Chains A and B, each alone.
Chain A
Amino acid sequence: MLRFVLRRLLQMVLAFFGTTLIVYALMFAGQGDPIQALAGERPVTAAQRAYLTQKYHLDATGVGGFLYRYFDYLKNLLQGDLGQSLTGRSIGDILVAAWPVTVKLALIAMAVTVLIGVTAGVIAGIRRASIFDNSTLVLTLLVLGIPTIVLAPLAQYFLGVRWQLFPPTAGAQPDLYALLLPGIVLGSLSLATALRLTRTSVAENLRADYVRTARSKGLVKRRIVGVHVLRNSLIPVVTFLGVELGNLMSGAIITEGVFNIPGVGFNLFRGIRTEDGPLVVGIVSVLVVVYLISNLVVDVLYAVLDPRIRYE
């Protein structure tokens, strides 16, 4: 087990550098004129252009320029310095300010997914073809069909502005209550997927041989479902949730924008819009780490849930 984890950690280092290289290369290739992008439609003076070009080595172009700037970036990164955004703010500071609120938001979304999605999925799986099962099917299809870009403003307008049940925006230092609505909106998509996944898995396992055996030897139903079926049914759900945690953090661009939460998605969007290469690479690097770690946790959880899976 320990060897497995160690090997995975070493692979993570490689994956980390590989992804930063790719992201840096993509930002480099897609970069038009970041100085003009920063100024919007105002003319940029020659002095200002020279100043920024020199400060961010923007004159280094081509393959040689790319390698120069990438290794320069990497050198600073290894010293713990993520560099400066084009407006002169330290990217480290931006990330420190942005991550806590995004993590909070993602955890709320995750909690909503697990509490409602998995529970409803188990019930629907046990009572197949019941009214409950059919109505959740309709509801989840509806949620899966509505993209967040529609769902988020609608939820904000009706629940926040019209009926005033929630504050319409959360802001920079939100309390738990203010984050609840964005959390539910963000989690709704994965909630629907988790529900369908759990339902299918439970329904399938209920027909498995070992359940029939357990039932024939007289085990109470609560124990059959609560221990045996649930544990086996959770394997695909856990895989899904592990990957989803990363998605929730990076996928909050729309939700964070609509509810004005200055988190990671909010900054990523700004970085892309203003062609702020260092900012985008910095955020994506941290996201990569989140993905890698959540995947590792999922793999370890497999062994806990299913003793047949063994790592050497």
Chain B
Amino acid sequence: MRVRRLAAWTALPLAVTLGLVACGSGGDGGGQSDPNAAVRIEIAEPQHLVPTNTNETNGSQVLSALFSPLVDYDEANKPYEVAAQSVESSDNKVWTIKLKDGYTFHNGEKVTADSYLDAWNYGAYAPNGQNSSYFFEKIAGYDDLQGETPKAKTLSGLKKVDDLTFTVTLSQPYSEFKTMLGYTAFYPLPKAAFSAPGVLKDGYEQAPIGQGPFRMKGTWQHDAKVDVERYDAFPGEKPKVAGVEFRIYQQPTAAYADVLSDNLDVIKTIPTENLSTAADDLGDRFQQSPASSLQVLSFPTFQKEFSKPEVRKAISMAIDRDEISKSIFKGSQKSARSFVSPVVAGYRENTIGEAGTFDPAKARAMYEAAGGPKKIELSYNGDGGHKDWIDATCNQLKANLGVDCVGTAEPKFADLLTKLKQKQPVGLFRMGWVMDYPSMENYLGPLYSTNGSSNYYGYSNPQFDKLLTEGAQAPTEEEAIKKYQAAEDLLAKDLPVIPLRYGQNNFGHSTKVKNVEMDLFDRINLLKIEAVK
């Protein structure tokens, strides 16, 4: 504090002089923008800072400063080209990606087709153990790179055409491949990142070299911060701040205290215990935006007592979603009545129809007619702060269906998954989903297709699987969305899970910044944020 005040006094005359020289460079409300100032954004310690190894928001927030994606998403959540000149395909199987000229890595190296091919091959090669390697599984030849001693070292589906063009052949047509390309895993890597072909240099992730609007200033200071500064040779849209300090916090409450006293500029997640006072504390500096996460209550459909859709529908109708969102979550989550999040193209409101209306009398009659079980168990992981809403849901089921209901906590999410994989009777269980890329398919395929990687409900509907395949092969995105919407309608009939709530980003900022926006991947938009003089 003392130091800051001192700095303010010395900065005052300076600011006055500067203010006299520079006249009004835009800025709507909340003071003038200062392009020479750095902003400070809260993150938690990233697990990794290699694009293909980063699949959590902290790491991808830092990488979003250092790298520029091939595509980004517009207001309607449709992809548009950024670092790519064009991404095209005539059959959804062979995709031609042309790069914009003029992009360079922070070490001066030119960005070429090879930068992408090297990075993606590295990411897909199983022995490298990259967290996001599954993003490449749609590319032809992926299977040859798996196992302990893979047959090949490079993806057969990736071909260089010239310095700025390459083609991607998928093993099966996929209409939304372009949508996937906006994710962290698809960033390029410079030659300087490798010590030998296919071998990443040891210290690369301590100071990643990218081709984005900012470059590293020093190295990653573990548990402390990551500093980046504006990269002036960046050809794309220029950021409006001189740099960003990503400050690492272990507890969001500490970050919140810092935002309140202007010691930190942006907190990405306001802790639940502060949500009720955040609007008073921060005023219009407290902001909310839809996040990609979806909370559901799932049924083990392989168990006899939950095999009837009427039972599932009755339970859904006996839950007062709005009440729980309001009283337990203080509006930090929103009631959900669809299987996909509002942040993806193709989202429709209230696709589950009647099952989403709160009607205790009808629910009870339907439940009894279908012969639903007298006792319901709700399983959840005890380490994720779910107890309150599980108990509230249980109480609603008790009151509205006249059944006995208990919430059962498993110590960790992993314990719950283990039991589910062994098909042990855990009753209903909570699940959450955060998208990998903004597509309806990502909310449907992994969760409900017969061989889906996260299908723990034993749900299998051949027609649903067929619609998903057709969607992937559809010639245009619009037609794909139609197929996915038809698939979603099937889910609404079967209800293998009941959607409960959408996540919200609850973020706040200090008085020293403005234009703070959150993107689809729960990252602060670093090109928009401005410092206030």
Contact = CB atoms under 8 A, between A and B. Distances in A.
Interface of A: 32-33, 36-43, 45, 47-48, 50-52, 55, 87-89, 93-94, 97-98, 153, 156-157, 160-161, 164-169, 171-173, 177, 257-260, 262, 266-267, 269-270, 273
Contacts of A165: 1
Contact of B261 (A47, A164, A177, A257): A164
A97 B248 CA distance: 14
Given A43-B454, A169-B258, A260 B251 contact: yes
B272 interface: no
Closest 5 interchain pairs by CB?
A: A172-B224, A51-B129, A36-B414, A262-B223, A33-B414
A76 B69 CA distance: 42
Contacts of A37: 412, 414
A153 B47 contact: no
Interface in B202-253: 221-225, 247-251, 253
A171 B247 contact: yes
30 contacts: A32-B411, A33-B414, A33-B415, A37-B412, A38-B47, A40-B413, A43-B453, A47-B126, A47-B129, A48-B133, A51-B126, A51-B128, A55-B129, A89-B222, A93-B222, A97-B222, A153-B253, A161-B257, A166-B1, A167-B263, A168-B260, A168-B263, A172-B223, A177-B2, A258-B253, A259-B254, A260-B249, A260-B254, A266-B223, A270-B45
Given A36-B417, A94-B222, 13 more contacts: A32-B414, A37-B412, A41-B384, A41-B413, A43-B446, A47-B146, A157-B257, A168-B258, A257-B250, A260-B254, A260-B258, A262-B223, A266-B223
A262 B412 contact: no
A37 B410 CA distance: 13
Question: Interface size class for chain B?
Answer: 35 or more
Contact of A87 (B47, B130, B249): B47
B126 A88 contact: no
A54 B383 CA distance: 27
A269 B249 CA distance: 13
B112 to A, nearest CB: 28
A249 B183 CA distance: 42
B48 interface: yes
A173 B251 contact: no
B418 interface: yes
Nearest to B47: A87
B432 interface: yes
A259 B223 CA distance: 13
B226 to A, nearest CB: 12
Given A33-B418, A37-B414, A169 B257 contact: yes
A166 B2 CA distance: 9
Which of B148, B253, B384, B415 has its CB near the most chain A CB atoms (within 10 A)? B253
A50 B225 CA distance: 31
B131 interface: yes
B255 interface: yes
B336 to A, nearest CB: 17
Contacts, number: 122
Contacts of A32: 411-412, 414-415, 418
A167 B1 contact: yes
B413 A52 contact: no
A169 B251 CA distance: 11
Interface in B111-156: 126-131, 133-134, 146, 148
A30 B486 CA distance: 46
Contacts of A33: 412, 414-415, 417-418
Given A33-B418, A87-B48, A47 B133 contact: yes
A34 B327 CA distance: 34
Contacts of A166: 1
Contacts of B263: 167-169
B434 interface: yes
A153 to B, nearest CB: 7
Contact of B224 (A164, A171, A177): A171
A259 B255 CA distance: 9
B396 interface: no
B434 A42 contact: yes
Nearest to A266: B250
Contacts of B383: 273
A168 B260 CA distance: 9
B133 A156 contact: no
A167 B20 CA distance: 33
B56 interface: yes
Nearest to B249: A260
A157 B260 CA distance: 10
B55 interface: yes
Given A43-B446, A89-B222, A262 B250 contact: yes
B129 A160 contact: no
A193 B255 CA distance: 32
A164 B19 CA distance: 29
A260 B250 contact: yes
A13 B207 CA distance: 40
Interface string B301-334: 0000000000000000000000000000000000
A233 B221 CA distance: 47
Given A47-B126, A87-B47, A88-B48, A168 B412 contact: no
A165 to B, nearest CB: 7
A42 B57 CA distance: 12
Given A260-B249, A262-B248, A270-B250, A161 B260 contact: yes
B250 to A, nearest CB: 6
A301 to B, nearest CB: 35
A10 B418 CA distance: 45
Contacts of A38: 47
Contacts of A153: 253
Contacts of A164: 1, 261
A53 to B, nearest CB: 10
> Among B251, B434, B446, which residue has the most Cβ atoms of chain A within 10 A?
B251
Nearest to B44: A270
Contacts of B254: 156, 168-169, 257-260
